[in-house]
A and B are shown apart, each in its own frame.
Chain A
Amino acid sequence: MPLNETLDALRAKMTSQAAAAFEEVMQRLDSRLLADNALKTGDVMPGFELPNAEGKLVSSVELLRRGVLIVTFYRGSWCPYCMVTLQALDAMLTPVLERKASLVALSPETGGRAQFVKSKYGLHYELLADVDNAVAAQFGVLVRLPPRYRRLLLSRGIEAETLHGGAGWFVPVPSTFVVAPNGIVVHAEIHVDFTRRTELETLPQALRALWQNE
């Protein structure tokens, strides 16, 4: 089933409280402004060095040395849409990635949550802790969750301070960037609507296009 159909099925199960909070996100976050702020095709990706799920430091320099890099931002282990997407990415990309490419998924969660997500869903790629959203801010995909949405999360015991080690309720907008080995962004997708994601077929296509040009 295409990823967005699975996500639609999840969205159909939203409670009325969650639906109202979702509407607030859609009103508050301006997709045009976000697209303006974020890295675009042709931009140079800012370098990074972040801890992975196994407690090792992973640097973008090393990843790009291996080949094409796909960087995807997810909101956190509490987001069911993100969890479905991470699993779908694993199924779709693991066979493709063996050929000179890497995929990394970043979220601001600390305290071993990357390890928890990786082992719970048996993911084969790197999950990195974007501590204090340092990389999301440089990619221009950082937003603050609006008040109703924050209240919804709090009512479910989801609290920014515990998850991120900071109280700001800043999270990345779900987004995916394909970066050529020279560090140039060749494909960028940003989803203000967190119930929609990059349709996965576009990623192997982008990779194949890059490999053909090598």
Chain B
Amino acid sequence: MPREMACRACRTLTTERTCPNCGSTDLTDSWSGLVIVLNPSASEVARLMGVTKAGRYAIEVH
């Protein structure tokens, strides 16, 4: 599996060339930390990250 890229705009992780969440093409393979949001409406972590969709996110994007 190719390494996931992180969107610099919204921190979404993707193997696509365009961010499936926000449409940005500003992606980087330089990221660290991982958050898998499973239940955004119940998750305090998601709220703090400003995330409203389930999915995979980087914590730090460089």
The reply to whether chain A is a binding partner of chain B is no
The interface of chain B, by Cβ under 8 A from chain A, is none
